[in-house]
């Protein structure tokens, strides 16, 4: 079986590990500790195997992201949409990854996360406007609203991963 690699990244406390736990349907996905090394998870979704590399988001570990995205087929950026004060920092880190020529053609999924929170709902228009692809970036971009507490949003993310892999096989 072919393993399809997803590189999941974003700032610390954005909810990356909680999303992985929700995808795996692990109990209490919101009770996680900060990630300090890559969490690598194999998950089968509708007969398609994925290996999700959940990257640590603290500044100290972001230089390791280049290693984590090697051989990835999907980039998945998680934004804590409730934390407006960190949007500029998040955008800067996303752009660093997008500027890397090694992943120029990889599809990008941006998750506007924590949509169960009022602040996230309030900040969503700003986030949608801010998190666009840079000019001349022709990669496929998918924007999803997610929350670990809203099952439909996690199902939509899983479906998007499958759709992207199926499209890449054509």
**Which token pair is 18?**
């909680």
Give residue-wise pLDDT tens across range 80-139: 999 999 999 999 999 999 998 888 889 999 999 999 999 999 999 999 999 988 877 889
CATH number at residue 39: 3.40.50.300
Residue 61 sits at φ, ψ, to 5 deg, of: -105, -5
Q: Residue 150: pLDDT above 70?
A: yes
Strand locations in 38-97 (E): 39-45, 48-54, 74-80
Domain limits for position 13? 3-86+93-168
Q: Is 47 left (phi over 0), alpha (psi -120 to 50) or beta?
A: left
Give residue-wise pLDDT tens across range 23-55: 998 766 556 777 777 889 999 998 899 999 999
Domain count, the chain: 1
């Amino acid at each position: 079986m072919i393993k399809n690699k997803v590189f999941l990244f974003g700032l610390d406390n954005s909810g990356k590990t909680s999303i992985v736990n929700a995808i795996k349907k692990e109990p209490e996905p919101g009770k996680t500790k900060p990630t300090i090394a890559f969490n690598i998870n194999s998950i089968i979704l509708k007969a398609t195997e994925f290996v999700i590399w959940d990257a640590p988001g603290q500044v100290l570990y972001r230089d390791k992201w280049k290693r984590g995205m090697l051989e990835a087929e999907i980039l998945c950026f998680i934004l804590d949409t409730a934390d407006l004060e960190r949007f500029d920092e998040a955008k800067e880190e996303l752009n660093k990854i997008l500027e890397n020529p090694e992943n120029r053609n990889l599809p990008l999924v941006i998750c506007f996360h924590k949509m169960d929170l009022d602040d996230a709902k309030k900040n969503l228009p700003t986030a949608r406007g801010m998190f666009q692809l840079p000019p001349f970036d022709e990669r496929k971009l998918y924007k999803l609203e997610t929350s670990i507490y809203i099952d439909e949003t996690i199902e939509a993310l899983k479906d998007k991963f499958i759709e992207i892999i199926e499209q890449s096989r054509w």
